[in-house]
Structure 1
Amino acid sequence: MERPRLQRHPDGITAIDTEYMRPGMAAAHVIAHEGRAAFVDTGTTHSVPYLLAALDELGLAREAVDYVLLTHVHLDHAGGAGRLMQALPNARAVLHPRGAPHMVDPTKLIAGSIAVYGEDVYRELYGELVPIPAERVMTTHDGQRLSLAGRELELLHTPGHALHHHTIVDLSHRNLFTGDTFGLSYRELDTESGAFIVPTTTPTQFDPEQLIASVDRLLGYAPRALYLTHYSRVTDVPRLGELLKLQIREFVAIALRHRDAADRHEAISADMRALWLGLLRRHGCMLSEEQLDEVLGGDLQLNTQGLIAWLDRQRKS
């Protein structure tokens, strides 16, 4: 196997490319402190060899890992957790209480994913989900704190992307591990103006009011850096927060504008793409439209599906 793609960041944090879909798409992170370690998110089952190889490269024993902190149980974040836990004898999996049952018994996760992707694509993307024994799972309450060899981590429940989402706050260093709550920021979109960020409204639990409230809550910590699963470290957080909230509000306006359209998926997708192109050009991004479609095309489709699911819930309420 190739050596894992690692990026070493300040404060004992290392990003590991989980090789999901393409390089630079999704990262797991290792927090190392005083000889102990914690993973934040794991990627898929296929990612586990990269995570274990990263421990070797960082000189960390598998026995030194105390926590596998899962921001939420979407499979690009948590699909490899059960397989990884098998290799980490002292680790506990730390989950939001809404997500924990799906890691102990992933039957519904598997069935739902196969329904979306089909069995062949599901197996190719995610492999075999391994259950985590219930006695190795720790569920969190909002504001709970954990100690990693004296390094205090706070768990914040941050709905909006998913009801079972929590964010990990590295209190002494003002780092936040935000999963998908604070959106996506692919390094291909960086310019001289800095990072670019987009929301992720993936089905099925997108809620714009909750998401904006969660973003504001995270901004209240005045973080020095955010560590996103898609993709790793960003700074200049206040600017990114305002850009994120602007787009969430624009997404809602786009969805409402086309809620009765016969071709609402196509219409919403087209307007979202146009919004992104305009914002990216103002950001100084010089990639061609074809290149931008390669980077953001998958998220465009998932976000559109999420907005349609939100519209359908609005009709029923």
Structure 2
Amino acid sequence: MNQFGIHTIDTAFQRDHFDAAYLMVEKGRGAFIDCGTNHSVPNLLAVLKAQGLRPADVDWLLVTHVHLDHAGGAGALMARLPNARLVVHPRGARHMIDPSKLIAGATAVYGAEEMMRSYGEILAVAEDRVVIAEDGHTVDFNGRELLCLDTPGHARHHYCVWDARSRSWFTGDTFGLSYRELDGAKGPFVIPTSSPVQFEPEALKHSISRLMSWQPESMYLTHYGRVGDLQRLARDLHEQIDAMVAIGRNCDERADRHRCLAAALRALYLERAQAHGCPLDDAGVEKVLAMDIELNAQGLASWLDRDKR
């Protein structure tokens, strides 16, 4: 916990220190921001108990967007939190109330066996417990105001959460990915995430700039944890989004487009990691980023195809 009552929770999705949820404590009440998968629920409840809180003491679950590594466990967690309400983007609310399309889409990508292994059974949230967060929506968390701002670019159903008390954003995937294994002498290393299927580069750059206009002191990323040095990270993200667009255009007409995209992204991130002074060698960096390279390649392809239409 830090001085602002914010606890980082490792959801244990995929590997250690890959996927975070957050518990915020304010005068004896709790709020979760993102929740991981069904398999993450015991971790979240254990941290809650360690803070001397009961499930009935939780007022809110805010999900930055409905991708399953952020919100897959929302139904299961809400079933354990009798007094909580779920705050979700207008474009994501229907998928929390009726997750059938979400399940079908993810199953088509991962297969039924991997869906159960990674995410478990996705449960619905009762409609009367869902609060829709339009741009500028404020949540009254026991007198502590949490502001939700629409931040498309990674997904159209994405908002970020501003906590004025800590002067921090909870950024979901809008402010990229920054894994602690890659921290170097210059501080955190960051890459954007373009995972399928709603990557929009200009919208993402605008969202990053919008977050930075609040002059935050910290960003709390789902992948992974709290970061500072925000001016440099924002600049790095803008540069890489432009580089990713150029990679997409360069690979688009090739018969081996996916291989080209993945190889070029790998080269981009390894070059930047080396220049940053990441403590791992190329093989180590590639191991940490392997899943994200694959997903970013898929996301770029989705954007290229959508752009043509």
Give TM-score scaled by structure 2 length: 0.99
Q: Where does residue 44 of structure 1 map in the other structure? A: 37
Q: CA deviation at 1:144?
A: 1.3
CA deviation profile, 1:209-268 (whole Å, cap 9, x unmatched): 100000000000111110000001001111100001110010000100111011111111
Deviation at 1:149, TM superposition (A): 1.2
2:219 counterpart (226, 234, 238):
226
2:182 counterpart of 1:189: yes
Q: Alignment partner for residue 66 of structure 1, among 55, 59, 70?
A: 59
Question: Following TM superposition, where does structure 1 have runs of at least 4 consecutive aligned residues deviating by more than 2 angstroms?
Answer: none
Aligned to 1:264: 257
Q: Name the counterpart of 1:147.
A: 140
SS of 1:66 mapped into structure 2: strand
Alignment match, 2:301: 308
Q: Which is worse superposed, 52-61 or 193-202?
A: 52-61
Offset of residue 170 of structure 1: 0.2
> In 2, distance between residues paired with 1:161 and 1:232?
18
Query: Residue type matched to 1:160 in 2?
Result: G
Which residue matches 1:35? 28
Give 1:242's aligned residue.
235
Give the equivalent residue in structure 2 for 1:162: 155
* 1:174 correspondence with 2:167: yes
Alignment-mate amino acid for residue 129 of structure 2: R
Q: Distance in 2 between matches of 1:224 and 1:210?
A: 23
Given residue 282 of structure 1, which amino acid in structure 2 is its aligned partner?
A: A
Letter in 2 for 1:143: G
Q: Secondary structure at the match of 2:140?
A: strand
> What is the deviation of 1:286?
3.1
Q: What SS does structure 2 have at the residue aligned with 1:280?
A: helix
How far did 1:10 drift?
A: 3.2
Corresponding residue to 2:68 among 66, 69, 75: 75
CA RMSD, aligned part only? 0.8
1:172 CA displacement: 2.7
Aligned residues of 1:184 and 1:200 also touching (Cα < 8 A): yes
**Is residue 14 from structure 1 mapped to residue 7 from structure 2 by the alignment?**
yes
- CA distance in 1 between counterparts of 2:2 and 2:192 reads 24
Letter in 2 for 1:140: A
Contact in 2 for aligned 1:105/1:131 (Cα 8 Å): yes
2:270–2:286 Cα contact (<8 Å) kept: no
Q: Is the 8 A contact 2:33 2:63 kept in 1?
A: yes
Indicate the residue corresponding to 2:102 in structure 1: 109
Whole-angstrom CA distance in 2 between matches of 1:291 and 1:236: 24
Tell me the distance in 1 between the aligned counterparts of 2:127 and 2:28.
Answer: 27
**TM-score, normalised by the number of residues in structure 1:** 0.96
Structure 1 gap segments, 5+ residues each:
1-7
**What is residue 251 of structure 1 aligned with on the other side?**
244
The 3-state SS of whatever aligns with 2:121 is coil
Residue 99 of structure 1: aligned partner: 92
In 2, Cα distance between equivalents of 1:285 and 1:238? 19
> What stretches of structure 2 of length at least 5 have no aligned partner?
none
Tell me, in whole angstroms, the C-alpha distance in 2 between the residues paired with 1:144 and 1:206.
24
Q: 1:60 Cα deviation (Å)? A: 1.3
Separation (CA, whole Å) in 1 of partners of 2:139 and 2:176? 25
Secondary structure of the equivalent of 1:9?
coil
Q: Give the aligned residue type for 1:308.
A: A
Alignment deviations for residues 125-178 of structure 1 (CA, whole Å, 9 cap, x no partner): 000011000000000111111111111110000000000000000023211000
Residue of structure 2 in register with 1:26 after alignment: 19
Which one-letter code corresponds to 1:155 in the other structure?
C
After superposition, give the CA deviation of every residue in 1:82-137 in whole Å (9 maximum; x if it has no partner).
01001111100000010010011000011111100111111100000110000000
